[in-house]
Structure 1
Amino acid sequence: MHDFFHTFFDWSEIAGALPSLLGEGLRNTLLIAVLAIIFGLVCGMLLAVLLLSRRRLVRLPARIYVDVFRGLPAIVTVSLIGLGLPAAGIRPFGRSPLGYAVVAVGLISAAYCAEIFRAGIQAVPAGQMQAGRSLGMSYLKTMRLVIVPQGVRNVLPALTGQFIVDVKESSLVYLLGLSVGQRELYFIAQERQAASYNASALVAAGLCYLVITIPLTYFVNWLDRRMREGRPARAGAEEPLPEPALAEG
């Protein structure tokens, strides 16, 4: 039992790891996750619009993208982007692996965000489109001002959940060999574990991840309850356009 606690809960090892984990690792983990979710939200919305197109040739490329990046293990995507592109001479970020890490996690996030947005937009009642068109708005303007805002509001809990996934998947970028100053939580803990043959630093990193993910998980649950109860998640939320009245025969 002593060996177990010494291996996983060596407080001197945890105390030695915490400054680097909190100062460098936590900052870079959040940086990678935030930039990846922004990348994922922008690309995911564009993909969702393509997936909703009535033209098969427009939908097909988006569907292939979503299926490929949702089907590949995240570690394979990170390796292909972060190691494969520089090896092929494609170096948009130079020698810095941080940019490749953000793109790799962001590409995965975009595939999942696309399906989240698509489901949210399709959940908006069809009458909302009819109402917008009856007021003289074009299809694109109705989508931009009426359908998409309601669809996004429908999926806010799912998008927050995707951010939690991005935080956890940021740990895979240790494969890219981040330099000092760019290391995320897992990379720092793994380095200390390899040097000391003690897993306490990994436990400390796990606690740091929990500090991020547990509050976000409860926030997702709270947001989901508010959505289900029909109360707007923010003050002053606009009401949807009324459906046009049908002319009586």
Structure 2
Amino acid sequence: MRRSTKRYLRQGGLYAVLAAVVIFLAVSVDWGNVHRNFWTPGLGDNWHDLILTGVKNTAIYTVISFALGLALALLLALMKLSDVLVYRWIATVYIELFRGLPALITILFMAFAVPIAFQWHAPGGTAGAGVIGLVMVAGAYMAETLRAGLQAVPKGQTEAARSLGMGPVATHVHVIIPQAFRIIIPPLTNEFVLLIKDTSLLSIVGAAVGQRELTNVSRDFLSSGSTAGTGTSLAQAALLYLIITLPLTRLVAWLEKRQQRAR
């Protein structure tokens, strides 16, 4: 038997197994029960709050967490690459600590433990404290990404900048950091997508009516409104998350392919 024939038979067998699994799952699901519990009538009552409150606040929290986390990450990355040993130790301890802790624990700590211990309340209440927790975690993860990007810039760029009379600070600001950001755009975009989903963790600390993010709004609909007692609002929230994140994940894939072609 030819090698190409064997390949076609193997691929055909894999497709047949996949089709059998799909058919089995489709037959096994109680579609009537799914429709009653996850796509009940009265959907229009939910969309208004889900989009105008949930999606809007999710976007706001994501942008704030990403911007502040990126600024923190840049500081930590520069500290970790510093010649000063104390700075390197501080950055390393911070990064390892907040990469090791679950994001939910950090959010709960900022929302409840810090106000008790220091008598300090974050702007925006528990929602603001939760965002600070996301900033701290995002900063730790993006710091390692930035560090790798800074180290990926060829050393010849630094030498060329120094030969032109640029000092260490000017070299980093005008030469090293801009090139590093071009290198790490795909992983940073991926981190942005992860932050969109991580904002759902803020629902655990509660928020005022106008501060609720998408998961929080959908959870409130589980016990109130025309679809109370069903998972309809959760299905709607899941659909909205996919509408937001899928284009961004495709953007990450496109950016990665573009970088590979450029190399």
TM-score normalised by length of structure 1: 0.88
Q: Structure 1 residue 5 and structure 2 residue 35: aligned?
A: yes
Check if 1:90 corresponds to 2:120: yes
1:159 aligns with 2:176: no
Q: 2-side partners of 1:163 and 1:230: how far apart? A: 23
Q: Which amino acid is the alignment partner of residue 22 of structure 1?
A: I
Gaps of 5+ in 1: 232-249
Per chain length, whose mean CA-contact separation is higher, i.e. which structure has more relative contact order (CA < 8 Å, sep 6+)? 1
Per-residue Cα deviation, 1:89-111 (whole angstroms, up to 9, x for no partner): 21142x62232122111111111
Deviations 1:18-62 (A, max 9, x none): 111001000000000000000111111011000111232110111
Give me the whole-angstrom Cα distance separating, in 1, the residues matched to 2:38 and 2:249.
26
Give the match for residue 233 of structure 2: 201
Query: Runs of 4+ in structure 1 displaced over 6 angstroms?
Result: none
**C-alpha separation in 1, matches of 2:65 and 2:197:** 12
1:242 counterpart residue number: none
Higher mean C-alpha displacement, 195-204 vs 116-125? 195-204
**Partner secondary structure for residue 160 of structure 1:** helix
Q: Report the Cα distance in structure 2 between the residues aligned to 1:170 and 1:136, rounded to whole angstroms.
A: 45
Matched, 1:217 2:217: no
Are the counterparts in 1 of residues 130 and 205 from structure 2 also a CA contact under 8 Å?
A: yes
**Contact 1:32/1:101 (<8 A) preserved:** no
Secondary structure class of the residue paired with 1:181:
helix
Tell me which residue corresponds to 1:185.
Answer: 214
Runs of 5+ unmatched residues, structure 2: 1-29
Structure having the higher helix fraction is 2
Contact 1:13 1:201 in 2 (8 A): no
Whole-angstrom CA distance in 2 between matches of 1:226 and 1:110: 26
Deviations 1:122-144 (A, max 9, x none): 11111111111111111221111
**Distance in 1, Cα, partners of 2:146 & 2:81:** 10
- Alpha-carbon distance between aligned partners in 1 of 2:107 and 2:125, rounded to the nearest angstrom: 14
Shift of 1:116: 0.9
Work out whether residues 127 and 206 of structure 2, in 8 Å CA contact, stay in contact via their aligned partners in 1. Answer: no
- CA drift of 1:13 comes to 4.4
Answering whether residue 86 of structure 2 is matched by residue 54 of structure 1, we say no
Q: What is the SS of the residue equivalent to 2:262? A: coil
Is 1:14 the counterpart of 2:5? The answer is: no
Q: Distance in 1 between matches of 2:191 and 2:90?
A: 23
Alignment-mate amino acid for residue 168 of structure 1 = K
Alignment-derived partner of residue 8 in structure 2: none
Question: Hey, what does 1:78 align to over in structure 2?
Answer: 107
- Residues 222 and 230 in structure 2, CA contact (< 8 A), matched pair in contact too: yes
Q: Which moved more, 1:139-148 or 1:199-208?
A: 139-148
Asked if the contact 1:186–1:205 (Cα under 8 Å) also holds between the matched residues in 2, the reply is: yes
Aligned partners of 1:214 and 1:154: how far apart in 2? 22
The normalised TM-score by structure 2 is: 0.83
Contact 1:132 1:142 in 2 (8 A): yes
Higher deviation after alignment, 153-162 or 49-58: 49-58
| 2:218–2:237 contact (8 Å) kept in structure 1 | yes
Deviation at 1:9, TM superposition (A): 2.0
Query: For 1:6 and 1:15, how far apart are their aligned partners in 2?
Result: 16
Larger Rg: 2
Change (3 A) 1:74 1:14: farther
CA–CA distance in structure 1, aligned partners of residues 198 and 51 of structure 2: 18
How many residues in Structure 1 have an aligned counterpart in Structure 2? 229
Residue identity matched to 1:227: Q
Which secondary structure does the structure 2 equivalent of 1:57 belong to?
helix
